[in-house]
Homo-oligomer: A and B are copies of this chain.
């Protein structure tokens, strides 16, 4: 049987911390396949979720192609079902069987406790969070260094920072 590992996040945007997490998972688990699930896939054009799943897919792909580990990764957008108690079961009905789940989110790890899927720990080796990257975009600060250079180029090509500013005006 294939060893499949799940890594789940919203990736708004996909930053160097996420990339480092993926490297850690490969080091620790040597999976046959890493499923990178893009959570809240239907959310975009709001302050917490500026980018579409389509755009986040491209960010992840571009960053991983440079990193050379793309071949063992499957990127899969997952829309919300707005029911946290059964969300793990939803994931399992949508995704091929996986043996372990990783996430940067305490919330996700808490939710997995109610299932028989184990969760793994990611060491936070880079002081980057998506919330901070978005704040830098809003404040017109240097956010480009927090993401892979291919991701920075892509976000600029779609005027991502400008979008975030516009959707954030009350």
Contacts and interface: CB of A to CB of B under 8 A. Distances in A.
| Interface size band for A | 35 or more
Nearest to A75: B74
Q: How many copies does the complex hold?
A: 6
A170 interface: yes
Contacts of A58: 96-97
Contacts of A43: 83-84
Contacts of A85: 42, 44-45, 52, 54, 89, 93
Given A53-B94, A96-B54, A84 B166 contact: no
Interface in A59-98: 61, 71, 74-77, 79, 81-86, 89-90, 92-97
Top 9 closest pairs, chain A to chain B, by CB = A45-B84, A85-B93, A110-B166, A89-B89, A106-B169, A86-B89, A44-B85, A106-B166, A57-B96
Interface of A: 41-46, 52-54, 57-58, 61, 71, 74-77, 79, 81-86, 89-90, 92-97, 106-107, 109-111, 131, 163, 166-167, 169-170
10 contacts: A41-B94, A44-B83, A44-B93, A52-B85, A53-B93, A57-B96, A74-B75, A77-B94, A86-B86, A86-B89
